[in-house]
């Protein structure tokens, strides 16, 4: 099991970085990966090409872009970088622009970083932690917060951070269902969405009855017949087209409230 702080080093956390546009923001994230010995400059080009080819689906929540590409020889080891911009820049996303934080992932495979991404998704979906990360004054504070600690910057707890009671629907009639979460490469944003969906299923008590699988667009077309639904971004939904099962769009991959609503719509509960 790989912890989040095992993949993100102090030197790869950079705060108040100047970037003229989204390309410069991704280049800054890629440079941090390169400087930390995680990937080569070619991987930065691959992250840029991912957005150029698939659109700004990597903007997975308001103000947050998760830059990544497929595993390739340009990845030397699995790792991450954290780039907080001095001024937010637009990526071209309809609802989540502008972006003030770019988190980049370089992975050698599709599985080693799963637990770490789950921890990152949980941290960013918690309003108190997310606010503290926005206000962190040093890289050390960022790592402390991501590791589950408390930074020296005091943040008042938001009311929305208090867990809300959930009116859980009745269990699905069939013995077992599968839902696919899909992104361009199957190693990054789909894992974020998978984690958020699994949090909702846990709250509902449906986890024993629903399996969530993160996958890429090509594989999703072949696996769609196994699933009751696909959850993804608008850009990837357009790429998938008609796959024979409902394709549900999620705007904020870190929002359990939005995913709860999408899941209720999927099952008409």
Residue 234 burial class via C-beta count within 10 angstroms: exposed 0-12, middle 13-18, buried 19 and up? middle
Facing residues of 211 across strands? 178
pLDDT greater at residue 157 or residue 229: 229
Q: Domains in the chain, please, with CATH?
A: 4-146 (3.40.930.10), 177-267 (3.40.50.2300)
pLDDT, tens digit, 9 for 90 and up, residues 94-139 = 999 999 999 999 988 877 677 778 888 888 888 899 999 999 999 9
Considering the candidates 68, 93, 113, 177, report the single residue annotated as catalytic: 68
Facing residues of 66 across strands? 103
Q: Is the dihedral of CA 252, 254, 260, 264 positive or negative?
A: positive
Q: Strand 247-249 vs strand 99-106: parallel, antiparallel, or unpaired?
A: unpaired
Tokens 């998760």 label which residue?
Answer: 66
Range of lowest pLDDT (49-58, 102-111, 203-212, 221-230)? 102-111
Report the 10 Å Cβ neighbour count for 134. 13
Residue 120 exposure: Cα atoms within 13 Å on the Cβ side: 34
Range of lowest pLDDT (9-13, 18-22, 170-174)? 170-174
What is the pTM (predicted TM-score) of this model?
Answer: 0.85
Q: Is 68 a catalytic residue?
A: yes
Q: What's the CA gap between 230 and 212, in Å, rounded?
A: 10
pLDDT greater at residue 20 or residue 111: 20
Q: What is the 3-state secondary structure (H, E, C) of the chain?
A: CCCHHHHCCHHHEEEEECCCCHHHHHHHHHHHHHHCCCECHHHHHHHHHHHHHHCCCCEEECCEEEEECCCCCCECCCEEEEEEEEEEECCCCCCCCCEEEEEEEECCCCCCCHHHHHHHHHHHHCHHHHHHHHHCCCHHHHHHHHCCCCCCCCCCCCHHHCCCCCCCCCCCCCCCEEEEEEECCCCCHHHHHHHHHHHHHHHHCCCCCEEEEEEEHHHHHHHHHHCCEEEECHHHHHHHCCCCCCEEECCCCCCHHHHHHHHHHHHCC
Q: What is the pLDDT of residue 2?
A: 65
Average pLDDT of the chain is 89
pLDDT, tens digit, 9 for 90 and up, residues 233-263 = 999 999 999 999 999 999 999 999 999 999 9
Tokens 């974020």 label which residue?
Answer: 192
Do residues 92 and 49 touch, judged by C-beta distance below 8 A?
A: no
Structure tokens given for 55? 């659109």
């Amino acid at each position: 099991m790989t912890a989040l702080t095992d993949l993100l080093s102090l030197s790869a956390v950079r705060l108040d970085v100047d970037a003229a546009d989204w390309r410069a923001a991704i280049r800054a994230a890629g440079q941090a990966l390169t400087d930390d010995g995680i990937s080569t400059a070619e991987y930065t080009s691959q992250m840029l090409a991912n957005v150029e080819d698939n659109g700004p689906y990597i903007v997975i929540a308001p103000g947050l872009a998760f830059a990544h590409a497929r595993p390739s020889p340009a990845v030397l080891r699995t790792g991450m970088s954290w780039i907080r911009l001095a001024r937010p820049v637009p990526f071209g996303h309809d609802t989540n622009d502008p972006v003030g934080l770019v988190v980049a992932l370089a992975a050698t495979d599709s599985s080693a970083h799963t637990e770490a991404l789950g921890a990152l998704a949980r941290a960013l979906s918690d309003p108190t932690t997310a606010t503290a990360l926005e206000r962190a004054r040093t890289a050390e504070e960022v790592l402390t917060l991501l590791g589950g600690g408390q930074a020296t910057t005091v943040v008042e707890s938001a009311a929305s951070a208090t867990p809300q009671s959930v009116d859980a629907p009745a269990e699905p009639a069939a013995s077992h269902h599968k839902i696919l979460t899909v992104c361009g490469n199957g190693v990054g944003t789909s894992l974020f969405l998978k984690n958020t969906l699994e949090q909702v299923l846990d709250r509902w008590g449906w986890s024993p009855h629903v399996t969530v699988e993160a996958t890429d667009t090509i594989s999703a077309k072949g696996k769609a017949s196994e699933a009751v639904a696909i959850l993804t971004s608008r850009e990837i939904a357009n790429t998938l087209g008609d796959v024979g099962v409902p394709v549900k769009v999620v705007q904020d991959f870190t929002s359990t409230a939005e995913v709860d609503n999408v899941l209720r719509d999927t099952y008409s509960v």
